[in-house]
């Protein structure tokens, strides 16, 4: 397959029939989708129109798949939920608009856990299909950006994916599908046009077959946005082209990430990768993050569920979301609509979040979790005084089978996120890079850097490819 940057350059010089490539790419994506269920919606008309427009820019002629929770003008955008079925935004999300202005062509909306509620892409909304792992269709492709990761792996045409992460929804599926998943610092990419899960945690990121391509997509999407008050106005570095020299780079191996509950084969694969970094001049040392290991999961889920409960309250069948025949009082109607159109996991998280932010419980749960988040950030900041980047397995296991997932309790499902929630709670940039496989399935190493140090992740990650 042609190297993406070379292809973009040749498209800009008029050396390719972009319309013909687009038609073949669309046909290929639909063929893959039949078996693997990576798309909720295709943007056929828009995709071909953009190809006909002779695209130019840093992504000229590249097919861009967009996670279903990111709005695309005129294309059904539902965050994988039946309650939003039929919603076609009248605008592009800021990230999508910036990609389009640089010649990227939107091919469709990829499948996900409903509103991002899951780590295996099995908590899909009512009426949607479960995406399947590109290496073994009996296994999960990870979540919640499962369709984005699977399509990134299977695409044989120039392709990049826009993903989104709240607690690991970019790096988890990237690890399970053997691709690069890049989650930037919170605030690096505008959230305007993102269908919220948890406002203080959500981040738009990228997936690609290699580190520099994933970084390029982040660069294009990043930058200040007056429509998003949480978006940083710091200048965006050209980190996709940063030098790959890692001599003297200090890499901290997170001690707790290799303990009980982590598949030994996965742990060994990641340790071998850190030895490769050491052979190239990096300085390896062990780092302990006991607070994150103990409190990362409860802190994340309390904050995320409370914010989800607030964000999704508007989908009550009157102003927003699906609606039914108006009858009965408000509570009866509100309950009827949400019961009919939300899936089981969405209902579970909404109930837990609503409970934790009720009068009498808010101080004991939500506010306490916010205080804990500050302590977890402080622990990371302390670690970064002695190292430049932190390393751990992305996930504690390889992609599980659907049968294995069906036997997990809700708590066991949540605990699978134990290695990914920390950097998400802290808003730190992180990336999953494929390393040597285990059990004949992909394994990812997760690299975490200090806020706005995406260049450090690229510099480190390119040495593992």
Q: Using an 8 Å Cβ cutoff, are 78 and 68 in contact?
A: yes
Whether 144 is catalytic is yes
Q: Is 67 a catalytic residue?
A: yes
Other Cβ atoms closer than 10 A to 248: 9
Of 65, 67, 203, 209, which is the active-site residue?
Answer: 67
At which residue do the structure tokens 């120039």 appear?
158
Nearest to 147 by CA among 166, 165, 121: 121
Q: What is the CA radius of gyration of the chain?
A: 21
* Catalytic option among 144, 165, 232, 392: 144
Task: Decide: 176 and 398 in contact? Cβ < 8 Å.
Answer: yes
Closest by CA position to 251, among listed 214, 300, 211, 287 = 287
- Please state the length of the chain: 465
| Cα–Cα distance for residue pair 246/463, rounded to 1 Å | 8
- The active-site residue out of 145, 169, 190, 269 is 169
Q: How far apart are CA 290 and CA 287, in angstroms?
A: 10
Contact 361, 382 (CB under 8 A): no
Pull the structure tokens for residue 244: 């790959």
| 3-state SS, residue 194 | strand
Any idea which residue has 């910036």 for tokens?
98
Q: How far apart are alpha carbons 87 and 68 in whole angstroms?
A: 11
Active site residues: 67, 144, 169
């Amino acid at each position: 397959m042609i190297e993406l940057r070379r292809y973009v350059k040749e498209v800009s010089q008029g050396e390719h029939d972009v319309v013909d490539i687009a038609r073949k790419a669309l046909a290929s994506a639909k063929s893959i989708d039949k078996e693997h269920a990576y798309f909720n919606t295709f943007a056929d008309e828009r995709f071909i129109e953009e190809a006909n427009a002779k695209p130019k820019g840093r992504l000229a002629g590249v097919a861009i798949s967009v996670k279903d929770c990111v709005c695309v003008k005129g294309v059904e955008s539902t965050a994988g939920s039946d309650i939003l079925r039929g919603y076609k935004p009248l605008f592009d999300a800021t990230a999508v608009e910036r990609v389009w202005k640089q010649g990227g062509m939107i091919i469709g909306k990829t499948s996900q856990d409903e509103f991002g509620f899951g780590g295996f892409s099995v908590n899909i909304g009512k009426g949607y299909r479960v995406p399947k792992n590109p290496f073994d269709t009996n296994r999960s492709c990870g979540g919640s950006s499962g369709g984005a990761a699977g399509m990134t792996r299977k695409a044989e045409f120039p392709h990049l994916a826009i993903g989104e992460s709240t607690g690991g929804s970019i790096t988890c599926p990237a690890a399970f599908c053997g691709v690069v998943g890049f989650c930037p610092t919170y605030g690096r990419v505008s959230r305007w046009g993102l269908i919220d899960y948890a406002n203080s945690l959500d981040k738009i990121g990228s997936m690609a077959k290699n580190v520099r391509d994933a970084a390029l997509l982040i660069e294009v999407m990043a930058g200040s946005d007056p429509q998003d008050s949480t978006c940083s106005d710091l200048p965006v570095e050209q980190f996709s082209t940063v030098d790959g020299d890692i001599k003297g780079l200090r890499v901290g191996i997170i001690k707790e990430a290799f303990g009980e509950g982590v598949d030994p084969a996965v742990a060994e694969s990641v340790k071998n990768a850190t030895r490769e970094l050491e052979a190239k001049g990096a300085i390896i040392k062990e780092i302990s993050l006991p607070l994150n290991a103990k409190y990362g999961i409860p802190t994340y889920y309390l904050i995320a569920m409370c914010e989800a409960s607030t964000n999704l309250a508007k989908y009550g069948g009157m102003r927003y979301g699906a609606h039914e025949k108006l009858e009965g009082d408000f509570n009866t109607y509100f309950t009827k609509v949400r019961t009919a159109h939300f899936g089981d996991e969405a209902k579970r998280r909404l109930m837990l979040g609503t409970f934790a932010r009720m009068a009498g419980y808010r101080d004991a749960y939500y506010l306490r979790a916010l205080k804990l988040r500050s302590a977890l950030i402080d622990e990371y900041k302390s670690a970064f005084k002695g190292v430049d980047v932190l390393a751990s397995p992305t996930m504690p296991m390889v992609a599980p089978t659907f049968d294995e997932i069906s036997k997990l309790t809700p708590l066991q499902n949540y605990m699978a996120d134990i290695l990914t929630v920390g950097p998400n709670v802290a808003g730190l940039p992180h990336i999953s890079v494929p390393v040597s496989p285990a059990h004949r399935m992909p394994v990812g190493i997760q690299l975490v850097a200090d806020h706005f140090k995406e260049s450090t992740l690229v510099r480190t990650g390119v040495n593992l490819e």
